[in-house]
Structure 1
Amino acid sequence: MNSEMYAEVDTALKKFRPFLVRDGGDYELIEVTPDGIVKIRLLGACETCPSSDMTLKMGIELTLSEKVMGFKEVVQVFLKGSLCRFCLSWER
């Protein structure tokens, strides 16, 4: 993990967080890979919201592409056992 890129992503996401919290949601930053992939888990209302894809692509991904050099893509991560059709399983 590139700690500098992680810090940049974390800072950019913190600026986006109030929009999620306002709607009863939040996020957890899981990982920033060396090749610029950001893995996050949406929480609260955002976790099951039908608009979560829009939040990821038009909100979070757009924000990161403007603020973080080397950023490529955001991927939503789900806890193993969550009810989702398109899940990347992840366990702690």
Structure 2
Amino acid sequence: MENENLIQRIESALAEIRPFLNNDGGDIELVSVENDVVNVRLTGTCTYCTINQMTLKSGVEMTIKKYAPEISKVINLDSVTPTIS
């Protein structure tokens, strides 16, 4: 139940951010929450935008932390380079 509440608060934060991203042809989706880290995926024009990391930190992460202060970090999965072992 506690996890459901956290997911709802994160989705509320994303709903606040989404119109701004949509105006520029982008969007965001929640992929997962692992401990205190939120994994999202920026889509549309946000995928290739040169300032998407700034948007992620100063827009998305800040808004999610407003709704869910227990979150420590937000990661855009498309920006994570897979490691090859």
Q: TM-score of the superposition, structure 2-length normalised?
A: 0.86
Per the TM alignment, residue 87 of structure 1 is displaced from its structure 2 partner at its CA by 2.5
- Counterpart for residue 18 of structure 1: 19
- Counterpart for residue 42 of structure 1: 42
Alignment of 1:4-83 (within 5 A): 4-33=5-34, 35-78=35-78
Q: Which has the higher helix share?
A: 2
CA RMSD of aligned residues (A): 1.9
Q: Matched residue of 1:40: which SS?
A: strand
Would the aligned equivalents of 1:77 and 1:88 in 2 still touch at CA under 8 Å? Answer: no
Whole-Å Cα distance in 2 between the matches of residues 88 and 19 of structure 1? 29
Per the TM alignment, residue 88 of structure 1 is displaced from its structure 2 partner at its CA by 4.9
- Percent of pairs identical after alignment? 34
Whole-Å Cα distance in 2 between the matches of residues 67 and 2 of structure 1? 14
Would the aligned equivalents of 1:29 and 1:41 in 2 still touch at CA under 8 Å? Answer: yes
Number of aligned residue pairs: give it.
Answer: 82
Would the aligned equivalents of 1:25 and 1:46 in 2 still touch at CA under 8 Å? Answer: yes
Would the aligned equivalents of 1:39 and 1:77 in 2 still touch at CA under 8 Å? Answer: yes
Q: Matched residue of 2:27: which SS?
A: strand
Whole-Å Cα distance in 1 between the matches of residues 18 and 82 of structure 2? 22
Per the TM alignment, residue 37 of structure 1 is displaced from its structure 2 partner at its CA by 0.5
- Structure 1 segments of 4+ aligned residues over 2 angstroms from their partners: 86-89
Q: Which consecutive residues of structure 1, in runs of 5 or more, have no partner in the other structure?
A: 79-83
